[in-house]
């Protein structure tokens, strides 16, 4: 099948399918059995061709699920000790079960159910079912039913899916990005490093080829369809993502705004519950933020319930929004 015609499987669905397969076997699966049958690998597996890239993907996936706390084991095939080509992989079910003394109340179970809805579907996809059937044809049987949820991150930002695809494939993307205060968007050509959720909003951390440096792009400010090119780049190490998260946390810690909020108002309830918010001795509310324009949007939505004391540029941004709203509504 031509590469362009191969269906794309989201990375989290591939990892989930891998965990399902390794939980379902007692004796373990060889690398060849995994690559040829598990959803996310089998679509690109060639029985007669070169599977080196797919094998490298599997090696990365093993590291990823181990980092998630999944106890992945490597065992030697019976009667073939010392042959690394026939190593088998499994997840010991007992090691992955919840402790017997952990139970959930009705309320906790309801919350878990709500969390499961984030996964978008109530059962494993047809592709995942087909993968399990193929595994059973190898003699692999699951003694107990497994969690029947398809993990799929949902985002209201249209840019999310193509950016995630580009990250998985390590290819350059292009998009139009509109910075606050500018009238025209600027075309960006970037190498995606990571998609980061920070304070409830998705950002793309990427290397900007034109600026020759790393930048953070708020997905909601991408104003054009994302163009996924065929130009590849070398994958960035995990440390790059952690460094970006650390820098965002440093910005959050350094930037504060002093507010006066109406007692008992919706603004007081919401803003006082923001992370790291605190009261001063004279009753002012100190809130942290990363992006002044986003905070201005939030504060302006509260109307007269909030007065910005400082910084002056934030006060001016909120005032400009309120004036524009008044003008728009006559």
Q: Which of 232, 249, 266 is the last residue of a domain?
A: 249
Predicted pLDDT at 98 = 63
Q: Are residues 50 and 93 in the same domain?
A: yes
Whether residue 21 has pLDDT greater than 60:
yes
Confidence at 125, pLDDT banded by 50, 70, 90: very low
Predicted pLDDT at 260 = 96
Instruction: Indicate the average pLDDT of the chain.
Output: 82
Residue 148 lies in a domain: no
Q: Are residues 131 and 15 in the same domain?
A: yes
Residue 68 lies in a domain: yes
Report the C-alpha gap between 269 and 278 in whole angstroms: 12
Q: Which of 231, 249, 267 is the last residue of a domain?
A: 249
Report the C-alpha gap between 324 and 318 in whole angstroms: 10
Give, in order, the Cα–Cα distances in Å from 256 to each of 203, 247, 278, 287. Answer: 21, 16, 11, 5
Confidence at 143, pLDDT banded by 50, 70, 90: very low
Q: Are residues 126 and 7 in the same domain?
A: yes
Predicted pLDDT at 277 = 93
**266-285: pLDDT as tens digits:** 999 999 988 899 999 999 99
Confidence at 110, pLDDT banded by 50, 70, 90: low
Q: Are residues 26 and 94 in the same domain?
A: yes
Residue 72 lies in a domain: yes
- The mean-pLDDT minimum among 139-148, 195-204, 294-303, 316-325 falls in 139-148
Predicted pLDDT at 106 = 66
Report the C-alpha gap between 123 and 111 in whole angstroms: 18
Predicted pLDDT at 15 = 85
Residue 277 lies in a domain: yes
Confidence at 8, pLDDT banded by 50, 70, 90: low
pTM of this structure: 0.55
Alpha helices in the chain (DSSP H): 11-23, 31-37, 52-67, 93-96, 106-117, 126-137, 160-169, 238-254, 266-272, 292-300, 312-328
Q: Are residues 100 and 177 in the same domain?
A: no
Report the C-alpha gap between 289 and 276 in whole angstroms: 10
Q: Are residues 94 and 171 in the same domain?
A: no
Report the C-alpha gap between 279 and 146 in whole angstroms: 48
Residue 48 lies in a domain: yes
Q: Are residues 170 and 293 in the same domain?
A: no
Domain coverage including residue 322: 255-328
Q: Are residues 237 and 206 in the same domain?
A: yes
Q: Are residues 269 and 244 in the same domain?
A: no
CATH no. for residue 205? 2.30.30
Q: Are residues 167 and 102 in the same domain?
A: no
**Do 164 and 52 contact (CB within 8 A), yes or no?**
no
Confidence at 186, pLDDT banded by 50, 70, 90: very high
Q: Are residues 103 and 186 in the same domain?
A: no
Q: Are residues 52 and 105 in the same domain?
A: yes
Between 26 and 145, name the one with better pLDDT: 26
Whether residue 80 has pLDDT greater than 70:
no
Q: Tally the domains of the chain.
A: 3
Predicted pLDDT at 300 = 94
């Amino acid at each position: 099948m031509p590469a362009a015609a191969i269906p794309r499987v989201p990375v989290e669905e591939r990892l989930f399918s891998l965990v399902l397969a390794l939980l379902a076997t007692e004796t373990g699966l060889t690398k060849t059995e995994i690559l040829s049958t598990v959803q996310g690998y089998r679509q690109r597996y060639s029985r007669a061709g070169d599977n080196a890239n797919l094998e490298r993907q599997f090696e990365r996936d093993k590291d990823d699920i181990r980092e998630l706390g999944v106890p992945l084991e490597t065992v030697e095939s019976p009667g073939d000790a010392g042959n690394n080509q026939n190593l088998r992989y499994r997840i010991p079910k007992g090691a992955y079960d919840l402790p017997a003394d952990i139970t959930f109340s009705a309320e906790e179970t309801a919350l878990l159910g709500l969390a499961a809805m984030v996964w978008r579907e109530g059962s494993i996809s047809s592709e995942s079912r087909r993968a399990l059937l193929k595994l059973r044809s190898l003699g692999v049987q699951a003694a107990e039913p497994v969690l029947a949820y398809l993990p799929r991150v949902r985002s209201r930002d249209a840019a999310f899916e193509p950016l995630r695809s580009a990250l998985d494939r390590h290819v350059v993307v292009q998009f139009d990005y509109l910075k606050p205060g500018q009238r025209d968007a600027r075309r960006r050509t970037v190498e995606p490093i990571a998609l980061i959720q920070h304070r409830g909003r998705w950002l793309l951390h990427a290397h900007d080829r034109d600026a020759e440096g790393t930048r953070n792009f708020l997905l909601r400010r991408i104003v054009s369809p994302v163009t996924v090119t065929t130009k590849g780049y070398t994958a960035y190490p995990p440390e790059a993502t952690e460094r970006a998260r650390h820098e965002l946390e440093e910005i959050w810690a350094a930037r504060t705004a002093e507010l006066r909020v109406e007692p008992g108002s919706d603004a007081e309830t919401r803003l006082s519950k923001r992370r790291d918010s605190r009261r001063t001795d004279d009753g002012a509310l100190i809130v942290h933020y990363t992006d002044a324009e986003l905070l201005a949007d939030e504060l302006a939505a509260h109307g007269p319930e909030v007065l910005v004391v400082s910084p002056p540029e934030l006060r001016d941004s909120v005032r400009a929004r309120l004036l524009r709203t008044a003008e728009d509504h006559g």
